[in-house]
Structure 1
Amino acid sequence: MPAESALAKPAAHNEIATGIRDALPLVFSLLLTFSLIGMLGRRHGLDLPAMVVFSGTVMASPLQLTLLETPAHLLNAFGVLVSALSINLRFLVFTLSLKSSLDGPIKTFVPALAVMANAAFTLMSIRKEQQPISRPYANTVCLLLYAAALLGTVVGYCFARLADDALMDHASVVIAIFLSASLGKMARDRHSFHGQWIAGLAAAASLLWLGEISLLLVLAVTVLTSYAYDRP
């Protein structure tokens, strides 16, 4: 038993180190993305605790940006709650798809899986193709990326409190350029590239025909076209 325990500790340390190494590129991206969310929250008059709770419970930057830019008279607590519950159904889907690859009972992974967002799911999906997902790896990836999102929100909010509007506008443009560059890297994958074009064309058609971008229409067109494209 002591020998097994001695071997388990280095293995756990290696899994933690691997998790940190895999997550680091995404940490920087999340910090910038959620900094923009924090800045927008401050601009719209929300307080810091509300923004931290907003990021911590939704953890979906596109939805958060959409809700923050929605006119106040069109936004209500019920709409925000339904949006948050709907988007967080992805956690259930993520968990079910990874369940067979977890190295141990699923209940021991609950803290990590409860805060697993898109980036963490992507890393663990890649990991499961190589070996079972250990608890140290899952905890490291999920909690590190979750902390990056919360920290980014706080940093962006504090920056907006200190900076003037002109500087905030410049910072928003820089962040948008960075995110666009990230999309460009993703486009090296043929399926991601086609998916981006489908979403972009659907948004353009919505703007042309309806006079505004209908997120529901863009989502429906993207999902249906992607499904047809990926069918065997």
Structure 2
Amino acid sequence: MPVEPARLELAPHSEIASGIRDALPFVFSLLLTFTLIGMLGRRHGLDLPAMVVFSGTVMASPLQLTLLETPAHLLNAFGVLVSALSINLRFLIFTLSLKSSLKGAKAAFIPALAVMANAAFTLMSIRKEQQPISRLYANTVCFTLYAAAVLGTMAGYCFASLAGSALMDDVSVVIAIFISASLGKMARERHSFHAQWIAGLTTAASLLWLGQISLMLVLAVTMVASYAYDRT
């Protein structure tokens, strides 16, 4: 009987540790992806607070990249608002699908679900197949990934302000960063972190040895290494 209180006392720490461990492979991807978004925002003349709000409210890198690369004369406030609301409707669907698996009062999950990203939904969907989703686990996963997106945006914006204009004008740089962040997901989930590092190191090596980023080299090395690693 004395063991039971100790077990209950350690449970919160276990939930937090489990959430951090599950979120870590996605943190690297989000940092790189939103670094790209911060860089593009700076290049298009947006200020840092605007970019933080942009990433913090939309949390959809494909839409953000599309909006940032769309000529200004083709954009209007209504179109941006409709696009943002439409793509964020997915979070309502995500929440409804998780509702029956949330452990405890549903209102306690509102802060976490309000900042839930695609990766957070994926992790919680896997979790609910094994056990109910606790508030601590949901908070850890959702806020860790949300922080990675916001910090990535800020880091990219600051990097762009320090980098030379020649670097920022090289479109291959930002495309390679996006590839580095996303291509690793072609491997099985437990290997995605390794594949992302392979892509990132290949990008750095290409820039160091060739003086520029070769997209074909990044693609080829990452795909071959991911496939080989996945088969071992």
Q: Residue 32 of structure 2 contacts residue 178 of structure 2 at CA under 8 Å; is this kept in 1? A: no
Structure 1 counterpart SS, 2:159: helix
2:153 maps to 153
Q: 1:173 to 1:82 in 2, by over 3 A?
A: closer
Q: Unaligned regions of 5+ residues in structure 2, if any?
A: 190-232
Q: 1:154 to 1:16 in 2, by over 3 A?
A: same
Structure 1 counterpart SS, 2:104: coil
1:118 maps to 118
Between the aligned partners of 1:79 and 1:61, the Cα distance in structure 2 is 17
Between the aligned partners of 2:60 and 2:179, the Cα distance in structure 1 is 19
1:103 maps to 103
Cα drift, residue 185 of structure 1 = 2.1
Q: 1:151 to 1:180 in 2, by over 3 A?
A: closer
* TM-score where L is the length of structure 2: 0.75
2:45 maps to 45
Cα drift, residue 105 of structure 1 = 1.5
* TM-score where L is the length of structure 1: 0.75
Structure 1 counterpart SS, 2:187: helix
Q: How much identity, in percent, do the aligned residues show?
A: 77
Cα drift, residue 85 of structure 1 = 0.9
Task: Report the number of matched residues.
Answer: 187
Q: Unaligned regions of 5+ residues in structure 1, if any?
A: 188-232
Structure 2 counterpart SS, 1:88: helix
Cα drift, residue 4 of structure 1 = 7.0
Once the two structures are superposed, the pairs formed by residues 83-94 of structure 1 within 5 Å of their partners are 83-94=83-94
Between the aligned partners of 2:182 and 2:140, the Cα distance in structure 1 is 27
Of the three residues 176, 181, 184, the one matched with 2:183 is 181
Instruction: Say what the alpha-carbon RMSD is for the aligned residues.
Output: 2.1
Q: Residue 16 of structure 2 contacts residue 140 of structure 2 at CA under 8 Å; is this kept in 1? A: yes
Write out per-residue CA displacement over residues 92-150 of structure 1, whole angstroms, 9 at most, x where no aligned residue: 10110000001112101011000001000000000111100011000000000000000
Cα drift, residue 76 of structure 1 = 1.1
